[in-house]
Amino acid sequence: MSTPPPVFRIGHALDVHAFSPEMDGTKKLMVACLEWPGETPLVGHSDGDVAAHAICDALLGAAGLGDMGTVFGTDRPEWSGASGEAFLREVMRMLEVAKWRVGNIHVQVIGNRPRMKARLPEAEERLSALVDAPVSVSATTTDGLGFTGRGEGLAAQATALIVRAD
């Protein structure tokens, strides 16, 4: 007798990107699928959206579908410069094919800037619309400790609950 598949699964992920050493005006800071005008962009193969990337990794991990590096890695030139939104849309397509849907997600952005408090509701609304489920967003600093505390970059961690769609 085989064990039935689980009705829900949980994934957790961390994403980290450094701030670009220069602002040339061609790249914008994107966090939680929102543009942050006047802020230094993040370095990455894509837009560097740490919140979106952590969410994608948590969802992929929960579903057993790999991770950002294997699905969207630097060996995949078609994803070069891609937006966090594009990654989320593709992960949602993959979940649908695998017969999973999102229950809920929490993502926390870690860094000194941008100052996110005033835009947290906007970030939650944007991300919730993209994954068709509730997303809570929080932000914190590390009280000056580590690379985020020194203002060298941003990190984000996400936890996602997925449920069987059948």
Which parts are annotated binding residues for a divalent metal cation?
15, 17, 53
**In degrees, to the nearest 5, what angle opens at C-alpha 121 toward C-alphas 125 and 148?**
110
Helix (H, G, I), strand (E, B) or coil at 138: strand
How far is residue 120's CA from residue 42's CA, in Å, rounded to a whole number?
Answer: 19
Name the amino acid, one letter, at 26: T
For 22, residues 6+ apart whose C-beta sits below 8 A from its C-beta are: none
Name the β-bridge partners of 153.
18
Name the β-bridge partners of 140.
110
Which residues contribute to the annotated binding site? 15-17, 45-46, 53, 140-143, 147, 150
For residue 129, give the H/E element and its range. helix 120-131
